[in-house]
Amino acid sequence: MSAPSAIRYAKMNGLGNEIVVVDLRGSSKRFKAEEAAAIAARPETHFDQMMVLHDPPLTGLDAQILIYNTDGSLAQACGNGTRCVGLLAARDTGRSDFKYETAGGLLDVHVTNPGSISVDMGQPRFGWQDIPLSEPFHDTRRIELQVGPADKPIIHSPAVVNVGNPHAVFWVDDPAVIDIGRIGPMLEYHPLFPERANISIARIDSREAITLRTWERGTGLTRACGSAACAAAVSAARIGLTDRKVTVTLPGGPLVIEWRADNHIIMTGPAELEHEGTLDQIPLMAAG
């Protein structure tokens, strides 16, 4: 296999979560971190996450997906991006069901229509060493971590969980008044999170509804984060604040999250194709 002379991309979004999809199946090309960051820096190809499809390592899979953040670092999972990949695959193949390998595990995708694409995000992991945390916590439903004065913290006692990526979810009365743009970077790099973490602030609206805002590691503030929606949903259900099927409303819109009895999390929401083009003008595209 050899590197393609001109690499095509699709600029998409899932609830405003900016996604670029690149299909490198049949090619030996692998993006370096600096190449991914250069692609993200261009207005026409700016992304929160870039989903890069490679040849699958096993039969029965449609592709292996490497997921890049804006800064060129790798993510383990991206639910909004996976819905975008599924929508593009359904358009190109006429099929409805797909299976992809990611660093976070195998993901099944079912495309009903552009407004309803479901991804099996796998099983949440709650053990402190699986998230991972740098020190043991027996109960990860609520850990000792706070921002602000000890006697009157701004946020405190998050739930932590791994849903492909490490997540910390802080429960608050009003997510709109918390300056997550300032707090998020500090907590992303907190020593407690050796692999960094996605930081969310969430409000329980009812047993069927959650409001959520997220600072994504390696990216920053985004209009939607699918794995964070899953993290908030399972964390709320785990302490009995919600049912196991909820609507999580993010700045970009709602996702339906169901934590099934078999412990798998099903995320359902829309995806949209914005435009397509080639990356042949990107200066870092030498094979490597």
| Half-sphere exposure of residue 120: CA atoms within 13 angstroms, side-chain side | 17
Mind telling me the catalytic residues?
78, 225
- Is there a contact between 21 and 7 (Cβ–Cβ < 8 Å)? no
